[in-house]
């Protein structure tokens, strides 16, 4: 939700409606639910590095962030390395050199993210890396969510978006 209480998709919906009303074709990709599919023949190290950068850069708060990864067959063996690399990221103020994950944008965003993580675990997913209740020294009131990886998510699980 935006600071005015409206959905973060409000601007996109408005543009879509106005464009359509004026006879324009409009494609509006709202919700930013981007997926990556990794096959068994993918280069392990370059794939893991790309996934971690795409998933955790800007605290995952950018339109092209990869929020879901489908590891096909033997590619599931990449999970421990994904966890290791994601765990090595530094969480902290975005103005500090070497920080890989800045705070999320609002306290409400932090609450929402942690609620989604909890819902995934309650639905039966495992959590090899849990970033809930993350603390950064010197910033007790920051909107910190550490790198988090849910695994074992199946297509029959109903996880909130």
The structure tokens listed for 90 are 């530094």
The residue-averaged pLDDT of 103-107 equals 94
pLDDT at 48: 97
Q: Is the pLDDT of residue 1 over 70?
A: no
Give the DSSP letter string of 74-123.
GGGGGHHHHHHHHHTSPBS-TTSTT-SB---S-HHHHHHHHHHHHHHHHT
Which residue pairs, CB below 8 angstroms and at least 24 apart, start in 73-77?
73/39, 73/40, 74/40, 75/38, 75/39, 75/40, 75/42, 75/47
Rounded CA separation 60/102 (Å): 9
The residue-averaged pLDDT of 66-75 equals 92
Task: Give yes or no for a contact between 110 and 104, defined as CB atoms under 8 angstroms apart.
Answer: yes
Q: Is the pLDDT of residue 41 over 60?
A: yes
What share of the chain has pLDDT > 70, as a percent?
89
pLDDT at 39: 97
Residues 72, 77, 82, 85: what is their CA dihedral angle, to the nearest 10 degrees?
Answer: -150
Catalytic hit among 1, 63, 70, 77: 63
pLDDT at 4: 39
Q: Is the pLDDT of residue 81 over 80?
A: yes
Q: With residue 31 as reference, give the H or E element that holds it.
A: none
What is the CATH T-level fold of the domain 32-151, as seen in this structure? Aldehyde Dehydrogenase; Chain A, domain 2 (3.40.309)
Rounded CA separation 123/39 (Å): 26
Q: Has 100 been annotated as catalytic?
A: no
What is the pTM assigned to this prediction?
0.77
**Domain boundaries defined on the chain:** 32-151
Q: With residue 134 as reference, give the H or E element that holds it.
A: none
Q: Is the pLDDT of residue 70 over 60?
A: yes
């Amino acid at each position: 939700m935006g600071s005015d209480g409206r959905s973060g998709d409000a601007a996109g919906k408005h543009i879509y409606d106005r464009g359509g009303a004026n006879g324009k074709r409009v494609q509006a990709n709202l919700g930013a639910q981007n997926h990556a599919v990794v096959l068994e023949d993918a280069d392990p190290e370059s794939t893991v590095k790309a996934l971690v950068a795409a998933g955790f850069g800007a605290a995952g708060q950018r339109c092209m962030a990869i929020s879901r990864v489908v590891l096909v067959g033997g590619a599931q063996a990449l999970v421990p390395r994904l966890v290791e690399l994601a765990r090595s990221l530094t969480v902290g103020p975005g103005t500090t050199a070497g920080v890989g994950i800045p705070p999320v944008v609002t306290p409400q965003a932090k609450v929402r993210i942690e609620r989604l993580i909890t819902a995934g675990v309650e639905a039966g997913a495992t959590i090899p890396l849990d970033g809930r209740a993350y603390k950064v020294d010197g910033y007790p009131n920051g909107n910190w969510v550490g790198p988090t990886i849910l695994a074992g998510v199946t297509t029959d699980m109903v996880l909130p978006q």
